[in-house]
């Protein structure tokens, strides 16, 4: 059998698990190689299967229509250079041969970090409604030069199996190291938090605020998908707009061009033209998240209209989970000018049990020197931070209060 290296340029790896074709391309022109014969799948176990049903909403047949089924533990082993990388698991819970989606309960670990535990993909799709497939994205710092992904069928219920449709690995810089440390949204004075460089992250949300969906093909560095924010806004969701035609969006030394695609900054959502109305409500986004973890909230900003020119034209509060994260955010001051990009990182802790809502809210900072009583946002990302108590990113089954001392190992 010919050896299949299953890799692309720049150290990127894509496995089309269970595929019979050695190499094929998805709708974003990414090349995928079968895991059969791959050097990343030593002594390959399990069996290949094709989905019996094809959801018309699938973003692409590849890699979703084939899967590798495991009835016992199996580890893919990737020789990779040390450093941080995105690891994406492509999941389509369908019927594979005699295996019903409701019987798939399994865990996944990346080296010693638990990504999923007793996970049911079919329950996820039922909860999300109208979503037949999904991608779980993680950012993992590999120090050993080898990334091992282990799929483990759950011991309960009986007959559980594990499966995966596709695995994608994208080397990245450390996207979570910024010139200024993230601050804790505590409602008090900003508290800087040093996040351990070894921390694992799970991408929970990535939104192009006020703009259209940006496909992975539109994010050529790392193939991230940026979704429209409308499903997460409240009834008072403000207004959307695009940049003035003569505005040039500019990355800066502190914000390199891989931070987000330029299209994310070319649109925005603000509160609207009526200042009296603006002063009486919050521009609000609501995100269901797993309780028991810390979360990094990254807000992307860029002033893209030339009407905004004065010093401190529209300062505003930033609230995260009803706690003040920043009292007087002014995009023009923070970025240094029209069309210049800036982002801010905030950390919040979510206690409790199950899924709860994480709120991001903006409110005008009332000042007689402000040109506008308004707020603006261009993009938003939310990342779950691993729990160091059990080295896990998996949703918890019991109530949990994260301990502050385990977040920054080098604090």
Range of the structural domain that residue 292 is part of: 183-406
Burial class from Cβ neighbours inside 10 Å (0-12, 13-18, 19+) for residue 386 reads: buried
Does residue 176 lie in a domain region? no
pLDDT, one tens digit per residue, over 277-293 is 999 999 999 999 999 99
Looking at the DSSP bridge assignments, the partners of residue 377 are 269
d(CA 208, CA 224): 11
Average pLDDT over residues 198-221: 95
Q: How many CB atoms lie within 10 A of CB 184?
A: 21
pLDDT greater than 70 at residue 86: yes
Phi, psi of 217, deg, nearest 5: -65, -25
CB 241 within 8 A of CB 268: yes
Does residue 3 lie in a domain region? no
Same domain, 44 and 191: no
State which of 171, 202, 219 marks the end of a domain.
171
DSSP states along 314-337: S-EEEEETTEEEEEEE-HHHHHSS
Structural tokens at position 258: 């891989």
- Closest-CA residue to 83 (of 11, 8, 1): 11
Which range of 85-99, 181-195, 391-405 scores highest in mean pLDDT? It is 85-99
| Least confident interval from 2-6, 165-169, 301-305 | 2-6
pLDDT greater than 90 at residue 111: yes
Predicted pLDDT of residue 6? 44
CATH for 191: 2.60.120
pLDDT greater than 90 at residue 41: yes
Same domain, 143 and 249: no
d(CA 323, CA 188): 8
Predicted pLDDT of residue 403? 59
Q: In whole numbers, what is the pLDDT of the chain averaged over residues?
A: 90
Q: Which residues neighbour 78 within 8 Å (Cβ) at sequence distance 6 or greater?
A: 13, 40, 146, 147, 148, 149, 169
Average pLDDT over residues 258-265: 96
CATH for 53: 2.60.120.430
Does residue 129 lie in a domain region? yes
| Least confident interval from 123-137, 220-234, 320-334 | 123-137
Same domain, 106 and 225: no
Q: How many CB atoms lie within 10 A of CB 179?
A: 7
DSSP states along 97-139: TTB-GGG-EEEEEETTEEEEEEEEHHHHHHHHSS---EEEEEE
Same domain, 83 and 198: no
State which of 171, 192, 219 marks the end of a domain.
171
Same domain, 201 and 118: no
Does residue 338 lie in a domain region? yes
State which of 171, 196, 224 marks the end of a domain.
171
d(CA 382, CA 205): 5
d(CA 238, CA 346): 23
Phi, psi of 112, deg, nearest 5: -100, 5
Same domain, 158 and 192: no
d(CA 201, CA 178): 15
Q: How many CB atoms lie within 10 A of CB 345?
A: 19
Same domain, 227 and 86: no
DSSP states along 325-376: EEEEE-HHHHHSSTTB-EEEEEEEEE-BSSEEEEEEEEEE---TT-S----E
Same domain, 234 and 374: yes
Predicted pLDDT of residue 5? 42
Predicted pLDDT of residue 308? 66
Q: How many folded domains does the chain comprise?
A: 2
pLDDT greater than 80 at residue 127: no
- Closest-CA residue to 52 (of 60, 64, 44): 64
Same domain, 379 and 322: yes
Predicted pLDDT of residue 178? 63
Same domain, 192 and 164: no
pLDDT greater than 60 at residue 2: no
Q: Looking at per-residue confidence, does 241 or 311 come out higher?
A: 241
Does residue 16 lie in a domain region? yes
Q: Which residues neighbour 24 within 8 Å (Cβ) at sequence distance 6 or greater?
A: 16, 31, 32, 62
pLDDT greater than 90 at residue 254: no
Predicted pLDDT of residue 410? 37
* Confidence tier at 7 by pLDDT (50, 70, 90): very low
Burial class from Cβ neighbours inside 10 Å (0-12, 13-18, 19+) for residue 336 reads: middle
Does residue 2 lie in a domain region? no
pLDDT, one tens digit per residue, over 318-335 is 999 999 999 899 999 899
* Confidence tier at 129 by pLDDT (50, 70, 90): low
Does residue 411 lie in a domain region? no
Task: Tell me which residue has tokens 């993909």.
Answer: 121
Predicted pLDDT of residue 409? 39
pLDDT, one tens digit per residue, over 56-77 is 889 999 999 999 999 999 999 9
Average pLDDT over residues 336-365: 94
* Confidence tier at 310 by pLDDT (50, 70, 90): low
Same domain, 215 and 306: yes
Average pLDDT over residues 235-246: 92
Predicted pLDDT of residue 191? 82
Burial class from Cβ neighbours inside 10 Å (0-12, 13-18, 19+) for residue 190 reads: middle
pLDDT greater than 50 at residue 393: yes
DSSP type of residue 146: E
Q: What percent of the chain has pLDDT over 90?
A: 71
pLDDT greater than 80 at residue 311: no
Does residue 337 lie in a domain region? yes
CB 349 within 8 A of CB 387: no
CB 308 within 8 A of CB 279: no
Q: Looking at per-residue confidence, does 386 or 192 come out higher?
A: 386
Same domain, 188 and 72: no
């Amino acid at each position: 059998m010919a050896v299949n290296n299953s890799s692309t340029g720049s150290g990127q790896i894509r496995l089309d698990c269970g595929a019979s074709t050695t190499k094929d391309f998805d709708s974003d022109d990414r090349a995928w190689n079968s895991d059969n014969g791959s050097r990343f799948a030593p002594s390959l176990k399990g069996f290949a299967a094709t989905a019996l049903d094809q959801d018309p909403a699938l973003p692409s047949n590849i890699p979703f229509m084939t899967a590798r089924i495991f009835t016992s533990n199996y580890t893919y082993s990737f020789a990779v250079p040390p450093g941080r990388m995105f690891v994406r698991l492509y999941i389509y819970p369908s019927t594979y041969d005699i295996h019903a989606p409701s019987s798939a309960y399994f865990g996944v670990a990346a080296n010693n970090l638990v990504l999923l535990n007793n996970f049911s993909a079919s329950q996820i799709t039922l909860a999300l409604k109208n979503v037949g497939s999904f991608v779980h994205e993680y950012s993992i710092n590999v120090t050993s030069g080898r990334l091992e992904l282990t799929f483990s069928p759950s011991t309960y219920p009986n007959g559980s199996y594990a499966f995966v449709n596709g695995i994608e690995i994208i080397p990245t810089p450390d996207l979570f190291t910024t010139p200024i440390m993230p601050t804790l949204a505590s409602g008090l004075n900003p508290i800087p938090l040093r996040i351990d460089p070894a921390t694992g992250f799970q991408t929970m949300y990535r939104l192009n605020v006020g703009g259209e969906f940006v496909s992975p093909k539109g994010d050529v560095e790392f193939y991230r998908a940026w979704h429209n924010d409308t499903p997460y806004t409240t009834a008072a969701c403000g207004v959307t707009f695009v940049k003035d035609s003569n505005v040039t969006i500019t990355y800066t030394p502190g914000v390199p061009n891989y931070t987000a695609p330029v299209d994310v900054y070319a649109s925005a959502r603000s509160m609207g033209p009526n200042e009296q109305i603006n002063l009486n409500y919050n521009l609000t986004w609501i995100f269901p998240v797993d309780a028991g973890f810390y979360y990094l909230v990254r807000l992307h900003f860029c002033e893209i209209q030339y009407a905004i020119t004065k010093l401190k034209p529209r300062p505003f509060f930033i609230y995260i989970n009803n706690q003040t994260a920043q009292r007087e955010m002014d995009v023009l001051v923070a970025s240094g000018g029209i069309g210049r990009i800036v982002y801010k990182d905030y950390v919040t802790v979510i206690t409790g049990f199950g899924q709860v809502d994480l709120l991001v809210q903006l409110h005008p900072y009332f000042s007689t020197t402000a040109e506008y009583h308004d707020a603006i946002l261009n993009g938003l990302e939310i990342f779950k931070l691993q729990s160091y108590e059990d080295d896990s990113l998996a949703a918890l089954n019991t109530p949990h209060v994260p301990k502050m001392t385990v977040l920054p190992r080098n604090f």
